[in-house]
Structure 1
Amino acid sequence: MSVPTASPETPIDSQEVVRYNAPALDKGLDILEVLSDSPDGCTLKQLADALNRSVSQIFRMVVALHRREYIQVDDNDRYTLTLKMFRLAHRQPPIKRLVRTALPLLNELAERARQSCHLAVYEQGRSVVIAQVDSPERWSFGLKTGAFMGLTDTSSGHILLAYQDEIGRARMLRNHIKVEGELDIDPGHLFSMLAEVRQAGCSLMPSKQIQGVTNIAFPVHGLNHQVVAAVNVPYIARIDAAAAPSMDVVRQTQADICARLSRLLGADEAI
């Protein structure tokens, strides 16, 4: 069966639209749209009322969306959106563009800082390294591309959490999946640390995984000032006679690199 297509010269006739409609799909999209405007979620009854339908008319669709992890339900039987659509919207093409845009600047950062660096994004309850550049020195410390990192005990994770609104941060933490070795952290202490990150504009902390490493992480902004990634330098101090950029110099260099990368990704000039 051929599916009608349209061009500016030949719009689809309204009768064709009715002929090829998809009521079940429309119902599912209606549910997602209602939930997108409901930051506190909806019960089944509230969803049905908002859609002018009965509970029995939407129940199977809600179950299907929950099974496919597009929506989630809490202990009070309120449904909210998951981050699945966000992840789908940010799959390979945007990630490839982000990596392609970032790599020249990550190479510049590694050369100027004489340190390794990596680019991390949020993915399914964890932060994941999507690009990494080794130090140009004869020694180097870095994370492998594709490696998952803790969300709550790393500088990159703190950047990705700190710049979310309260709803986005709550969802990220609700979907949090611990990686091997990830340390427990008191929520109150975590929120205090995230507030300090926002105030400072970066995260600087001793590594919770490797002794002698100080992690420096800055946000990368995209459209609408949203933070789309974190750039991290696992700083290792030299103690021999060789001259090397200090931690303060590396931090200033990193801030410059991240601001330039953000502008390339469409962020406001004010960043």
Structure 2
Amino acid sequence: MSDLPQEETPEAVVSAEPKGIRYAAPALEKGLDILEALSETSEGYTLNELCQALGRNVNEIFRMAVTLQRRGYIQADQNDRYTLTLKMFQLAQRQQPIKSLVSTALPLLHELAERARQSCHLSIFQNGRVIIIAQVDSPERWSFGLKIGVVMGLTDTSSGHVLLAYQDEVERTRMLSSHIRVEGELQMDPGQLFALLKEVRVQGYASMPSIQIQGITNIAFPILSMGGKVVAAVNIPHIARIDGTLRPDIEQIKGIMTNICGRLSARMGYDSESA
């Protein structure tokens, strides 16, 4: 008899799993557990910390971590701390809807940055997170922007508020229940959040001081598609100049964003006349 592990039959796999799970892939489950755990930390985990977070031993995790690193999904620094790479984001961007949205939006985002003299970015809600899928720097000598692939809070950012505000009650509940909080995201009282979302719908945009960076005012507008469904949010992290240089103020920028985001929504199939 060989000492190698025998291949399990489908029946054996079924009988070992909880009732209701027809087929199982334990190795795949471990790999997904690792990716999900690393998605919830910006500092990463050592192998031992990862095992503790997952409630597994090193023998269960080591080969899986090595394989994910070899395939480019995770990376290890000089202190052997594992973090996610952007490979999953890159794979997601190959999806035609996202590619189409980015390619349609980029020319107008460049126009927005030029007219507003500010950086801007485009974000969507995907897999429980708000994620930046496009970004354009200000034409000024300095600018403030977020990198493509960065994840943001859903309940404490202007982009998140816009993405929530223009959903029906069922979809909004689904988004909130699937939401994965990012590090530092503030816990918001549901009553306060829903009142804020109502205000966003009434005024047509969200505007709030950044809760992370002093001196930044975030201004976000929705991008709508057919039927008035929100597909993305455009945000300007506004930086005020104090040297007297003339440039659009916040109210003027809101007007520019109304124009740009309205045109982009029209290109995405939104008909304001029938709304």
Q: Could you give the per-residue CA deviations for residues 132-183 of structure 1, whole angstroms, max 9, x where no partner exists? A: 0000000100000010000000000000001111110111000110111111
Aligned match for 1:114, one of 114, 117, 126: 117
TM-score (norm 2): 0.66
Q: Please list every run of 5 or more consecutive structure 1 residues that lacks an aligned counterpart in the other structure.
A: 1-58, 69-88
Distance 1:104 1:64 in 2: 48
Deviation at 1:63, TM superposition (A): 3.9
From 153, 157, 171, the counterpart of 1:168? 171
- Among 191, 197, 200, the alignment partner of 2:200 is 197
Equivalent in the alignment of 1:94: 97
Are 1:265 and 2:268 matched, yes or no? yes
- Cα separation, 2, equivalents of 1:199 and 1:261: 20
The offset of 1:241, in angstroms, is 2.1
The 1:242–1:151 alpha-carbon spacing in structure 2 relative to 1, beyond 3 Å, is same
2:132 is the counterpart of 1:124: no
SS in 2 for 1:220: strand
d(CA) in 1 for partners of 2:162 and 2:196? 10
Shift of 1:64: 5.3
Q: Identify which of 140, 151, 156 aligns with 1:137.
A: 140
Relative distance call for 1:118 and 1:236 in structure 2 (3 A) is: same
**Shift in alpha-carbon separation, 1:269–1:190, aligned structure 2, 3 A:** closer
Q: Could you tell me how far apart the structure 2 residues matched to 1:267 and 1:214 are?
A: 28
Q: 1:177 aligns with which of 176, 180, 190?
A: 180
Q: Does 1:225 align with 2:228?
A: yes
Task: Determine helix, strand or coil for the equivalent of 1:172.
Answer: helix
Counterpart of 1:157 (choices 155, 160, 173) is 160
Superposed displacement of residue 242, structure 1: 1.0
Alpha-carbon separation, structure 2, partners of 1:177 and 1:109: 30
- Superposition deviation, residue 246 in structure 1: 0.7
Give the corresponding residue for 2:49: none
Equivalenced residues, count: 194
1:253 aligns with 2:256: yes
Aligned partners of 1:261 and 1:63: how far apart in 2? Answer: 44
Corresponding residue for 1:210?
Answer: 213
Deviation at 1:211, TM superposition (A): 0.8
Q: Percent identity, please.
A: 60
Q: Secondary structure in 1 aligned to 2:243?
A: coil
Q: Which runs of 5+ in 2 are unaligned?
A: 1-17, 29-91
CA RMSD of aligned residues (A): 2.5
- The CA deviation at 1:191 is 0.6
Q: What residue in structure 2 maps to residue 147 of structure 1?
A: 150
SS of the counterpart of 2:130? strand
Shift of 1:91: 6.9
**CA separation of 1:256/1:201 partners in 2, compared to 1, >3 Å: closer, same or farther?**
same
Any idea what SS the aligned residue of 1:174 has?
helix
State the 4+ residue runs in structure 1 displaced beyond 2 angstroms: 62-65
Deviation at 1:126, TM superposition (A): 1.3
Q: Matched residue of 2:211: which SS? A: coil
Structure 1 residue 90, shift from structure 2 partner: 9.6
Q: TM-score, normalised by structure 1?
A: 0.67
Alpha carbons of structure 1 residues 173 and 244: separation in structure 2 relative to 1, 3 Å? same
Task: Report if the CA contact (8 A) 2:93-2:99 is conserved.
Answer: no
